[in-house]
Amino acid sequence: MNRLKNAMRFFFTAVLLTWMILPTSAQDKKESTYVLITNVNVWDGTSDKTKEADVLIENNKISKVGKNIKAPEGAVVIDGKGGYVTPGLIDMHQHLMLNGGTSAGSYDWDAYAQGAHATRAAEYLLLQGFTTIRDIAGNSLSLKRAVNSGKLPGPRIYSSGGAIGPTGSHTDWGSYNDGPGQPNYQTMVRNAMVGDGRAEWLKLCRWNFKSGADFIKVMSGGGVASVFDPIDLNSPSLEEMKTAVQVADEYGGYVAIHGYTDAAYNKSLDAGVKSFEHGFLISEETVKRMAEEGVWWSWQPYGSYNTFGMGNFPDWFTDDMREKGALVAEGSVKVPKWMKKYGVKTFTGSDMFGWDNWHNAIVNVAYPVDIPGLDYNSVDCLMMATSNAGQALLELSAPSRNPFKGAKLGVIEEGAWADLLIWSKDPTQDVKIILEQDNLLFIMKDGDAYKNVLVDPTDESYRGPLKPRGYNWMESHGESGKHWH
């Protein structure tokens, strides 16, 4: 026993000494790397239009935005060729682990294969211009660590881990024959978590944060893409919802709810929830209350209007899911109008499942201009997918729970993370130019370039218009994938 104690004492002393010596000497040796982007028009994420400026990047942050910046010694200078700089895009509603929908993995592939698909999806989204995503249901917690630490390519990931809800709710993706509390495939791999009552909710929510979740996703009321829940389902209880908010407060995180109805939204507001998904069946009164209480709304313009409204349902949707989807479509035009009228803080998220849909994540960003009767312009669309989302990510969590607390996301300004894109055309004039992958010339995330076609292909800084390797996009998507090959 004594020998063990001595060994441990020696070990800790050694660790302490190393720690005391290392940081200063490592600090002394560290030199900054600089990238200077010239000959561009910059949209900062919040203004009405672009302005001519250079952008200087020091390591992984933007250090200066202005005219005629002098290149520091050793800087890599990138001629933007008159292109347009925007912040990297942020998708606030992703499901990396749910390739194939809520039954993913039940029949065809297991969690390992799901993970393999998810790594491809992460890389693919980055190459579309998304430098940050919020993964909001699905066990992407380990994948998040791998990507955020730079071991795998992908956008910065905020993850909720598995979504939480009661038995029979929008997280219950088992079968009709499951017994009470019996695990199903999705609960076993923790893409979804099912619990009833305060004690179980305390356990699930705390477990989720312990496992690295940045926030908690709660299914409040029914959904479209699930089997057992009518869309007007009025669970979880207020007590369960308050439990989730309590645990989120304990950890400095927050609760984001899935919900469609007045009952779902108001109960969540009563419990202190700050982040709201969908809501396409709520009334104008509830929208007013959201504005008064300063909460955030997450909008899925493409899914709600196109997928549900125009009958473009995924193949795996049942007749019942299609009926529920049609109801949602009616609200997809009304609700955004009220959100704008009352000034509810809004960001967008695509809510795309799997390879049949991931190419629509970018379409979602630009889609508000395509919904008839809405008054959203190109800059509105871009703000909802950049600075608004960045502001929400900063505002919703305590710094201790925010993996990217060190700087702002979604803006081009001094001190912000170096996540930026260069387009050949001005997306603030016409946001739909982002749908053409050839218009995206340069992608930088965290100071690293993932695409750079501004230089000749023989140049060593050239990064071609990559797609996740080995995946034949055209073959799988035919005409609908024509922008993405």
Q: Which is nearer to Zn ion, 135 or 196 (CB)?
A: 135
Backbone angles phi, psi at 270, to 5 degrees: -60, -35
CA distance 244 to 215: 10
> By CB under 5 A, which span of 184-192, 308-316, 344-352, 439-447 interacts with Zn ion?
344-352
Chain residue at closest Cβ approach to Zn ion: 351
Q: Provide, rounded to whole angstroms, the least separation between the CB of residue 218 and Zn ion.
A: 12
Q: Which is nearer to Zn ion, 286 or 300 (CB)?
A: 300
Q: Provide, rounded to whole angstroms, the least separation between the CB of residue 375 and Zn ion.
A: 26
> By CB under 5 A, which span of 26-34, 266-274, 302-310, 346-354 interacts with Zn ion?
346-354
Q: Which is nearer to Zn ion, 351 or 446 (CB)?
A: 351
Q: Which is nearer to Zn ion, 268 or 439 (CB)?
A: 268
Q: Which is nearer to Zn ion, 172 or 351 (CB)?
A: 351
Classify the C-alpha dihedral 440-444-450-452 as positive or negative: positive
Q: Per-residue string for binding with Zn ion, 36-75, x by CB under 5 A?
A: ----------------------------------------
Q: Which is nearer to Zn ion, 46 or 275 (CB)?
A: 275
Q: Provide, rounded to whole angstroms, the least separation between the CB of residue 137 and Zn ion.
A: 6
Q: Provide, rounded to whole angstroms, the least separation between the CB of residue 82 and Zn ion.
A: 39
Nearest Cα residue to 240 out of 209, 197, 208, 207 = 197
Q: Per-residue string for binding with Zn ion, 348-377, x by CB under 5 A?
A: ---x--------------------------
Q: Provide, rounded to whole angstroms, the least separation between the CB of residue 220 and Zn ion.
A: 13
The encoded tokens of residue 86 equal 């925007």
CA distance 28 to 302: 50
Strand, helix or coil at 162?
Answer: coil
Q: Provide, rounded to whole angstroms, the least separation between the CB of residue 293 and Zn ion.
A: 23
Q: Which is nearer to Zn ion, 163 or 381 (CB)?
A: 163
Q: Provide, rounded to whole angstroms, the least separation between the CB of residue 417 and Zn ion.
A: 25
Q: Which is nearer to Zn ion, 88 or 101 (CB)?
A: 101
Q: Provide, rounded to whole angstroms, the least separation between the CB of residue 208 and Zn ion.
A: 17
> By CB under 5 A, which span of 159-167, 169-177, 343-351, 465-473 interacts with Zn ion?
343-351
Q: Provide, rounded to whole angstroms, the least separation between the CB of residue 136 and Zn ion.
A: 6
| Contact assessment for residue 274 and residue 398, using Cβ atoms and an 8 Å cutoff | no
Number of residues that bind Zn ion (CB under 5 A): 1
Q: Does 380 bind Zn ion (CB under 5 A)?
A: no
Q: Provide, rounded to whole angstroms, the least separation between the CB of residue 289 and Zn ion.
A: 23
CA distance 388 to 378: 14
Q: Give the 3-state secondary structure percentages of the chain, helix then strand then coil, rounded to 5.
A: 40, 20, 40
| Contact assessment for residue 205 and residue 244, using Cβ atoms and an 8 Å cutoff | yes
Q: Which is nearer to Zn ion, 123 or 351 (CB)?
A: 351
Q: Which is nearer to Zn ion, 37 or 194 (CB)?
A: 194
Residues within the interface to Zn ion (CB under 5 A)? 351
